[in-house]
């Protein structure tokens, strides 16, 4: 259960949630919410929850989670000791090679990831690596289109978490593979932008391994009383630094031994 500081009232949580939701609905970026929330990460998750409840009641469907800030060096630079998470909704999912329409994602940036589809629940308080391996159904190459609703990308960790971990859209590539023969920790992934090499990395950047990141998420979701279930899609975290996206850009990733995934942006 998330414990919120007494200094942050329910009305303040509602105000912050409304600010972010209105930014997304109007396409007009908003001011940061961290001062409203007294810099409290628990309050940021509570704001995320306020909007989650609103969206679920409005008909959106939750299909999984995304892990953000999975790079340990980035966490240290931001004064954090663990990653963060957000919710994946069905309307965020795009097909391999699809085009992101103008205005669909605010201030878009692109990351290369491995997505995991669970075939078993991961509902234990302290999952082991063996528990995680048994729960994984399939792995897919994936691209996350990060979207920030805070003006000028002036977002600190509290703003990011409140803003659903900057969830914008995500693309699942092909093929879907079992873990057999895959070493997600050592797997190399490269990205091209408009046909030119842009950046590369490997799974060690993702909290040591995407499977370690998944174990962290599973434990955290039990603590927050939203355990991971069979069928959930998990975006495990980026293999390299996010790349800015502009109208007309085309991005493609190739994950060694896994597959490819592409997305473009309307010109």
Beta strands at 188-193 and 250-255: parallel, antiparallel or unpaired = antiparallel
- The whole-number pLDDT of residue 5 equals 60
Contact indicator for 163, 149 with CB cutoff of 8 Å: yes
pLDDT top residue among 74 and 207: 207
- For 82, other C-beta atoms within 10 Å of its C-beta total 15
Return the closest-CA partner of residue 127 out of 224, 228, 209, 11. 228
CATH 3.90.700.10 fits 61-265, yes or no: no
On the question of pLDDT at 214 being above 80, the answer is yes
On the question of pLDDT at 64 being above 80, the answer is yes
- The whole-number pLDDT of residue 8 equals 86
pLDDT tens per residue across span 112-160: 999 999 999 999 999 999 999 999 999 999 999 999 999 999 999 999 9
- The whole-number pLDDT of residue 221 equals 98
- The whole-number pLDDT of residue 136 equals 98
- pLDDT, mean of residues 185-210: 98
On the question of pLDDT at 3 being above 70, the answer is no
- pLDDT, mean of residues 63-72: 96
Contact indicator for 155, 145 with CB cutoff of 8 Å: no
Q: Angle formed by the axes of helices 10-26 and 41-57, to 10°?
A: 60
Cα distance between residue 260 and residue 265, in whole Å = 17
pLDDT category at 1 given cuts 50, 70, 90 is: low
- The whole-number pLDDT of residue 4 equals 58
What is the pTM for the complete model shown?
Answer: 0.96
Contact indicator for 203, 209 with CB cutoff of 8 Å: yes
Domain boundaries defined on the chain: 61-265
Return the closest-CA partner of residue 42 out of 78, 81, 89, 6. 6
Contact indicator for 40, 161 with CB cutoff of 8 Å: no
The percentage of the chain sitting over the pLDDT mark of 70, rounded to a whole number, equals 97
- pLDDT, mean of residues 211-239: 98
On the question of pLDDT at 94 being above 70, the answer is yes
pLDDT category at 32 given cuts 50, 70, 90 is: very high
Beta strands at 259-265 and 250-255: parallel, antiparallel or unpaired = antiparallel
pLDDT top residue among 3 and 148: 148
On the question of pLDDT at 6 being above 90, the answer is no
């Amino acid at each position: 259960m998330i414990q919120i500081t007494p200094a942050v009232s329910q009305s303040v949580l509602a105000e912050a949630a409304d600010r972010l939701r209105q930014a997304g609905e109007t396409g007009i970026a908003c001011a940061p919410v961290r001062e409203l929330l007294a810099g409290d990460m628990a309050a940021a998750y509570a704001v995320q929850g306020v909007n989650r409840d609103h969206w679920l009641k409005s008909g959106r469907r939750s299909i999984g989670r995304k892990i953000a800030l999975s790079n340990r060096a980035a966490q240290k630079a931001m004064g954090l000791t663990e990653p963060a998470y957000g919710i994946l909704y069905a309307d965020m999912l795009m097909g391999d090679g699809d085009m992101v329409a103008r205005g669909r994602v605010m201030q878009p940036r692109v990351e290369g990831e491995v997505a995991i589809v669970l075939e078993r629940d991961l509902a234990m308080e302290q999952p082991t690596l063996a528990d995680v391996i048994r729960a994984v159904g399939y792995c897919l190459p994936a691209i996350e289109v990060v979207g920030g609703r805070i003006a000028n990308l002036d977002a600190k960790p509290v703003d990011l978490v409140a803003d659903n971990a900057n969830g914008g859209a995500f693309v699942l590539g092909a093929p879907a593979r079992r873990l057999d023969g895959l070493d997600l920790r050592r797997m190399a992934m490269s990205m091209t932008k408009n046909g030119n090499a842009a950046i590369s990395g490997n799974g060690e950047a993702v909290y040591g391994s995407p499977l370690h990141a998944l174990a962290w998420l599973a434990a955290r979701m039990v603590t927050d009383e939203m355990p991971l279930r069979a069928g959930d899609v998990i975006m495990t975290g980026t293999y390299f630094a996010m790349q800015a996206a502009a109208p007309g850009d085309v991005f493609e990733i190739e994950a060694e031994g896994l597959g490819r995934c592409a997305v473009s942006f309307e010109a």
